[in-house]
């Protein structure tokens, strides 16, 4: 725990998903909120079919969903969200002519029903 789900639009042609995931994982480790670095599971999905609004202009986005076991305060979740958003901003140059939106969502997973086994 936690689980990280990163989605990005295909028109962000120079987006380095592996670099983004590594940066996210490092930020989560640095937060001190998680027991071991190997508990962090992150993945990225490139979205070929997407739409941002209804405008004709070129638009794209990167969205991170951070799923945590329930029980953390709103303040901790806000700190995690802000940390991940700051890391996304520094990922490099965005394509010219593409309006890019970056967002982070933090969601709780029910602690009582979450199950995990490690071999």
Query: Which CATH number goes with the domain that contains 39?
Result: 3.30.429.10
Domain-embedded: residue 9: yes
Domain-embedded: residue 97: yes
For the chain, the helix, strand and coil percentages under 3-state DSSP, each to the nearest 5: 30, 30, 40
Domain-embedded: residue 102: yes
Q: Is the pLDDT score of 25 beyond 80?
A: yes
Domain-embedded: residue 82: yes
According to DSSP, the residues that pair with 66 across neighbouring strands are: 4, 106
- Whether residue 6 is preceded by a cis peptide bond, meaning omega within 30 degrees of 0, is no
- Domain total for the chain? 1
Domain-embedded: residue 116: no
Domain-embedded: residue 62: yes
Domain-embedded: residue 118: no
Give the tokens for residue 32: 């001190």
In terms of residue numbers, what domain contains 39? 3-109
Domain-embedded: residue 119: no
Counting residues of the chain whose pLDDT is more than 90, the rounded percentage is 88
- Amino acid 118: pLDDT: 87
Model pTM above 0.85: yes
């Amino acid at each position: 725990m936690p689980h990280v789900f990163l989605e990005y639009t295909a028109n962000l042609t120079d987006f380095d998903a592996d670099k983004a995931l590594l940066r996210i994982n490092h930020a989560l480790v640095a937060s001190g909120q998680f027991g071991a670095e190997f508990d962090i599971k992150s993945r990225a999905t490139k979205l070929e079919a997407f739409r941002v609004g209804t405008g004709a202009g070129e638009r794209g986005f990167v969205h991170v969903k951070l799923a945590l076991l329930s029980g953390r305060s709103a303040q901790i979740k806000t700190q995690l969200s802000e940390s991940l958003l700051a890391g996304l901003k520094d990922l490099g140059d965005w394509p010219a002519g593409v309006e890019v939106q970056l967002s982070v969502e933090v969601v709780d997973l029910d602690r009582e029903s979450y199950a995990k086994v490690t071999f």
